[in-house]
Structure 1
Amino acid sequence: MGTGQQVHAQQKHSKEQPDKYDLCIIGAGPAGIILALEYARTNPVKQVVLVEFGSKRQGRTNRLDDSIEIRNTLNHHAPYDCTNKGMGGSSATWGGRCVMYDEIDFSDRPVLNEGCTWPPGIWEEVKKFRQQAAGYFECGRPLFNLNEMQGIEVRPIAEKFKKNDILEDTVVERWSMPTRFGKRYAKEMAGITNLHIMQGCEARNFTPPDKQGAVAGLYVQTGSHREELVMIKAAQFVLAAGAQESTRLLLRNTLLFRNLECTPPALGRYYQGHLSGKIASVRFTGDPGKTDYGFLRDLDGTYLRRRFQFSTSFLKANNLLNTAFWLDNPLYYDPQHRSGAMSFMYLAMLMPILGKKLAPPAIAHSITNGKKTGIGKHLLNILRDLPGSLFIPASIFFRRYCLKRKLPGVFLYSPQNRYALHFHAEQVPYSGNRMKLAGDGETLQISYGLTTPDIDSIIQLHKELDLQLRAMGCGELEYWFPPATLPDAIRNMSKDGLHQCGTTRMAGTPENGVVDANLKLWGTSNIYVCSSSVFPTSGQANPTFLLGVFAVRLAAHLAKGDKVNRPAEQLVNQ
Structure 2
Amino acid sequence: MNTNNLLPLYDICVVGSGPAGIILALEYADLNPNKSVLLVEYGSPSQPAQNNLDNSITVNNAVNHHLPADCTNKGLGGTSATWGGRCVLYDDVDFIDRPVLKGGCTWDERIFADVKEHTPVAAKYFECGEAVFDLKDAKAVKPIAEGFKQGVVTDTAIERYSMPTRFGKRYQADIEAKKNITVLQGYEARSFSEPDENGKVQFLTIREVASQTIKAVAAGKFVLAAGAQESTRILLRNKQIFKNTGAPAALGKFYQGHLSGKIASVKFYGDPKKTDYYFIKGKDGSYSRRRFQFSTQYLKDNDLLNTAIWLDNPLYFDPKHKSGAMSMMYLAMITPVLGKKLAPPAIAHSITKGKVNKVTTHLGNIVKGLPGSLTKPASIFYKRYCMARKLPGIFLYSPQNTYALHFHAEQVPFEGNSMQLGADGESLNINYTLTDADVQSVVKLHHTLDKWLRDCGCGELQYWFDEDKLPEAIRQMSKDGLHQSGTTRIADSADLGVVDRNLKVWGTENVYVCSSSVFPTSGQANPTFMLGAFAVRLANHLTWPAKNTPPLQQQEVSTPINLTT
Q: TM-score range by the shorter chain?
A: over 0.9
Out of 199, 204, 208, the residue aligned to residue 218 of structure 1 is 204
For the Cα contact (< 8 Å) 1:282–1:477, is it kept in 2?
yes
Distance change in 2, residues 1:566/1:77 (3 Å): closer
Out of 169, 183, 187, the residue aligned to residue 201 of structure 1 is 187
The answer on 1:129 being equivalent to 2:118 is yes
The answer on 1:535 being equivalent to 2:519 is yes
Equivalent residue for 1:444? 428
Shift of 1:426: 0.4
Amino acid at match of 1:256: I
Equivalent residue for 1:382? 366
For the Cα contact (< 8 Å) 2:152–2:294, is it kept in 1?
yes
Distance change in 2, residues 1:40/1:159 (3 Å): same
Equivalent residue for 2:225? 240
Equivalent residue for 2:24? 35
The answer on 1:250 being equivalent to 2:250 is no
Distance change in 2, residues 1:239/1:562 (3 Å): farther
Cα distance between partner residues in 2 of 1:50 and 1:293 = 41
Equivalent residue for 2:560? none
Equivalent residue for 1:424? 408
Distance change in 2, residues 1:199/1:462 (3 Å): same
Cα distance between partner residues in 2 of 1:566 and 1:445 = 38
For the Cα contact (< 8 Å) 2:268–2:402, is it kept in 1?
yes
SS in 1 for 2:221: strand
Distance change in 2, residues 1:193/1:410 (3 Å): same
- Residues 57-456 of structure 1 mapped to structure 2, 5 A cutoff: 57-119=46-108, 121-149=110-138, 153-169=140-156, 171-225=157-211, 227-260=212-245, 262-456=246-440
**Residue-by-residue CA offset, 1:2-55 (whole Å, 9 max, x unaligned):** 5575445xxxxxxxxxx2100000000000000000001210110110000000
**Residue-by-residue CA offset, 1:44-78 (whole Å, 9 max, x unaligned):** 11011000000001010000000000010000001
Shift of 1:224: 2.5
Equivalent residue for 2:561? none
Shift of 1:286: 0.5
Cα distance between partner residues in 1 of 2:19 and 2:456 = 43
Amino acid at match of 1:309: Q
For the Cα contact (< 8 Å) 1:218–1:231, is it kept in 2?
yes
Amino acid at match of 2:284: D
Shift of 1:328: 0.3
Shift of 1:423: 0.3
Equivalent residue for 1:15? none
Amino acid at match of 1:155: K
Equivalent residue for 2:563? none
- Residues 410-559 of structure 1 mapped to structure 2, 5 A cutoff: 410-559=394-543
Task: Name the % identity.
Answer: 61
Q: Which runs of 5+ in 2 are unaligned?
A: 556-565
Cα distance between partner residues in 2 of 1:70 and 1:209 = 33
Distance change in 2, residues 1:306/1:4 (3 Å): farther
Cα distance between partner residues in 2 of 1:97 and 1:191 = 28
For the Cα contact (< 8 Å) 2:225–2:513, is it kept in 1?
yes
Cα distance between partner residues in 2 of 1:472 and 1:246 = 47
- Poorly superposed stretches of 4+, deviation over 2 Å: 2-8, 147-150, 561-567
SS in 2 for 1:237: strand
For the Cα contact (< 8 Å) 1:207–1:216, is it kept in 2?
yes
Shift of 1:532: 0.2
Amino acid at match of 2:68: P
Amino acid at match of 2:213: E
For the Cα contact (< 8 Å) 1:138–1:179, is it kept in 2?
no
More off after superposition, 465-474 vs 79-88:
465-474
More off after superposition, 500-509 vs 119-128:
119-128
Amino acid at match of 1:48: V
Amino acid at match of 1:454: D
Amino acid at match of 2:107: W
Give the count of matched residue pairs. 551
Q: Which runs of 5+ in 1 are unaligned?
A: 9-18, 568-574
Shift of 1:82: 1.2
Amino acid at match of 1:496: D
Shift of 1:382: 0.2
Distance change in 2, residues 1:7/1:404 (3 Å): farther
Cα distance between partner residues in 2 of 1:274 and 1:179 = 21
**Residue-by-residue CA offset, 1:396-443 (whole Å, 9 max, x unaligned):** 001101111110000000011110000000000000000000100111
Amino acid at match of 1:337: H
SS in 1 for 2:529: helix
For the Cα contact (< 8 Å) 1:119–1:508, is it kept in 2?
no
For the Cα contact (< 8 Å) 1:434–1:447, is it kept in 2?
yes
Cα distance between partner residues in 1 of 2:108 and 2:383 = 43
